[in-house]
Amino acid sequence: MKHIILAVLLLCIHCKQNKAKSLKKSKSNLLTIVAVGDIVHPCNTKLKKVFSKLGSNIYSRTRKFLQSADLTFGNLEAPLTKQKTKRPKIYKYQFTGFPEEARWLREAGFNLLSMANNHIYDAGKKGVKDTFQYLEKQREFSPYLKWTGAGLTKKQARKYLVFSPQGKNFKVAFLAYSYCCENKVNLFRLARVKRDIRTVKKQADFIIVSIHYGREYTHIPSRKKRIKYKAVIKAGADLILGHHPHVAQGVQFYHHGFIAYSLGNFAMGTKTSRYKKRKAKMYSMALRLTVKIENKKVSFLKTEIFPLYTNNAKPFRIKKKKEEFTPFIPKFSKGIFAKRILKYIQKWSKQLPQNKTRFILKKDKLIAEILDEGQKGMQGATYAP
């Protein structure tokens, strides 16, 4: 009898081990990505004391979400430095961020940052050097923290990343570009991007491209911008994460990939009324994508859009109702407020020519799906490069 019991126990242990191995293997070919837009908390403005007091609590309401992915992306739109700004006065808006922000970002869950933008050199070369040093220190706690898009030399700025995310059996390439401004920021030139993609395709299974580009405070990307972004996808990119307009623009599945033309702001430590001139709405988004990557095949399993109200100057009102409001602390809108933002994102997306993307409003988020020729939603659409 004892032998039988022992045999049963050993069998159960063996089954559990096999199940654990199978589960681990199934997760090793899945990639979850969270992506948000612009991040800056200036320590060179009147709001310095506000951000200093808030510290890492800035991300308290979104930390769980940011930590829910294998890769969590954001656009770091200011150098982290004690150095003063160094640009000529013709540059009206100049920012320097808190050195402590490196820790705030790491603790929040960020592990993939773009520095390709028009503000990263606001404090000159010293500001960029300091930023690298402060982020490097955070690698002691988060060795998978990565960034690119700017550098102390042209060569460093042009550098792309190819890496295997923690626990995964595939490689991801990350490239970052900006429309301007220094020669030590990786500039968005279509021919250059295509060359870079051709190179990384030989090394990576999934290609993410971050682009800082487009007219500010506009919800519909220009024809020129749409053509360029589509060309980047056709060249082999799988995912484009756009930012710079400070507000959300439409999204679409195109060819084999997914384009977010502008994620908008995420944690932008400013108060502005500039959006009023272009009749824009201070609505932004966060993305969460689940992708399967196996045998050089990519499948978009789930694409979720979460709404953000990013006006730090006044609360979000719909008729007589007002959403709970804490300036400078990003949080996801809920209920009627979420529905309002997501309906606009859906509207702006539908205004993109030939956008074959289907949207499903589900509670406080929007699900984006690929449409086939019969106009039916296809979860897990697959392609081989």
- Distance CA(284)–CA(287), nearest Å, equals 10
Judge: domain 29-383, CATH 3.40.50.920.
Answer: no
pLDDT at position 7 over 70: no
pTM: predicted TM-score of the whole model, two decimal places: 0.91
pLDDT tens for 177-210 read 999 987 899 999 999 999 999 999 999 999 999 9
- The answer to whether the CB of 149 falls within 8 A of the CB of 123 is no
Closest CA to 32 of 59, 63, 65: 65
CA dihedral 120, 121, 125, 131 (to 10 degrees): -20
Tokens of 186: 């990786």
Tokens of 230: 């589509």
- Distance CA(163)–CA(171), nearest Å, equals 5
pLDDT tens for 165-174 read 999 999 999 9
- The answer to whether the CB of 262 falls within 8 A of the CB of 248 is yes
pLDDT tens for 271-316 read 999 999 999 999 999 999 999 999 889 999 999 999 999 999 999 9
What per-residue confidence (pLDDT) applies to 296? 80
Q: Where are the domains of the chain?
A: 29-383
